[in-house]
Amino acid sequence: MEKILVLSSLLLCLAGNAGADYITLDESEKYGETRWGAVPYAFKTEALGTAVGAAAYVGGINQPQSSLVGAAFTTSNDSWLIAGALNNFRFDNLDRWFFDLYAQGSHFTDQRFYDSTHRLTSSSSGSHDSSPDDYVSGISNDLHVEISARYVLPIGAGREQPLSIFKTRKGIPYTRPTGGSQWNPLSSGKTILGSKYFYRYRDLQKIDDENLVRANTNGLELWLDYNNTDFLPNASYGSRQKFTVTRDFGLGDSANSWTNLELDLSKYIDLGTSDWFRQQVLALNFWTSHTPTWKADKDSGFIYHRPPPGFGSELGGFDRMRAYPQGRFHDKSAVYYTAEMRLMPQVNGLDTLPLLKYLEIDWWQVVAFAEAGRVSPGYDTDLYFKDLKWDVGLSFRVMAFRVPLRLDWAISDEDYSIWAMYKQPFAR
């Protein structure tokens, strides 16, 4: 059974430093140079059929750190997607502020949602004990808009220069790291305050059913991010802590109001080099989420003040529990653990192949990983340890155009999945 899954986010991989306060340059590149790239592509999945499309980006035209990117594809089953982003834009006299704009529209003729509006039993669709065959599918339209602003605090590595410039040699930085040597926000690492306005319209019309189900949401996301790593795109040591609050106030066409809290903790341990590998890193991550507004009617089981699919306490997909479909589990609370062993060989070789030279591949990695996690209708000690879902996997990764790209394969007792995605996991 074919299960290669390519998400719209992959199509924006050439954006490079999307949502970042840094620039990654090769030793031969100069700050302020215009950068551009374009890639046609094709893929095939169960839900989309055969797809063809293209992605392109240009960076450094108006501002050295900014980039503009666009992507689109169309498929054999009449699905399509178009997306674009403006990243890392700064206004005059606001050098500590970075702004992003993202917009996406899509139409899918075979979209699946693992979720239910009622939770009468522990096996309801989307819950921890639910069946993988318990989902709704049909024709879905999606409109997604985000406007983000990030402020780099004048402390630590951001005290004198809010924009970090990493000069790399074969994909590994040789300039001063932003952090990792000690845990102290005042002297090491970068601390960022972020905010994002989001709007998302999604609908679903089941096959042979005229009723249209909508799950609209809009609101504000706020976060505090302490990045104390040496090089966030491919960290070899240090740590990162991020706390996020997301609120839909129930305004406009929103389905309901809701609030979600998230804590994301990462640790990177440098295991040195060897005759075979120029970099060996153990990467660890813990993530937990809770929706305090989530309320269930005792009689009907109907859920009030809950996030729609794609938001809140959700597991499954390209970043968390990669053996499971996107949004496979969704409940009031969630917890997630992972460990990755990242090995970068001494020899590249890919940069000499005629078909790959255009991609400017600096290195490749082989990664083994394991994941565990679960969702729950309540936040208690059982959430952390009881009956956790699990998976294991292997990944092949490259740094192309100064951006890590990955192809992850993961398997669980339920199924397996293959994901193509940009950036390292838990490094967004």
Contact 286, 355 (CB under 8 A): no
Place of tokens 């063809």: 52
Lowest mean pLDDT, pick from 146-160, 244-258, 353-367: 353-367
CA nearest to 255, candidates 306, 297, 220, 294: 306
Phi, psi torsion values for 16, nearest 5 degrees: 75, -95
Q: What is the count of structural domains for the chain? A: 1
For residue 75, tell me if it sits in a domain. no
pLDDT tens digits, one per residue of 93-128: 899 999 999 999 999 998 888 888 778 777 888 899
pLDDT value at residue 333? 97
pLDDT category of residue 207 using cuts at 50, 70 and 90: low
Residue 125 structure tokens: 């669709």
For residue 398, tell me if it sits in a domain. yes
pLDDT tens digits, one per residue of 14-61: 444 445 788 888 888 888 888 887 778 887 777 788 889 988 888 887
Q: Is 235 exposed, middle or buried (0-12, 13-18, 19+ CB in 10 A)?
A: buried
For residue 369, tell me if it sits in a domain. yes
Question: pTM of the prediction?
Answer: 0.91
In this structure, what DSSP letter does residue 118 have? B
pLDDT value at residue 1? 41
pLDDT value at residue 33? 82
Residue ranges of E strands in 128-255: 136-152, 164-169, 172-173, 190-206, 213-214, 217-229, 238-248
pLDDT value at residue 360? 85
Provide the residue range defining the domain that includes 216. Answer: 81-422
- Using the predicted structure, report yes or no on whether residue 288 has a pLDDT greater than 50: yes
Whole-number Å distance between alpha carbons of 154 and 134: 50
Q: Is 263 exposed, middle or buried (0-12, 13-18, 19+ CB in 10 A)?
A: middle
CA nearest to 232, candidates 334, 335, 160, 158: 158
Percent of the chain whose pLDDT exceeds 90: 61
pLDDT tens digits, one per residue of 78-88: 999 999 999 89
Q: Please provide the average confidence, as pLDDT, over all residues in the chain.
A: 89
pLDDT value at residue 14? 42
Domain with 116 in it: what CATH number?
2.40.160
For residue 427, tell me if it sits in a domain. no
pLDDT category of residue 184 using cuts at 50, 70 and 90: very high
- Using the predicted structure, report yes or no on whether residue 193 has a pLDDT greater than 60: yes
For residue 361, tell me if it sits in a domain. yes
For residue 149, tell me if it sits in a domain. yes
Pick the residue with more confidence: 190 or 296?
Answer: 190
For residue 10, tell me if it sits in a domain. no
- Using the predicted structure, report yes or no on whether residue 248 has a pLDDT greater than 70: yes
For residue 40, tell me if it sits in a domain. no
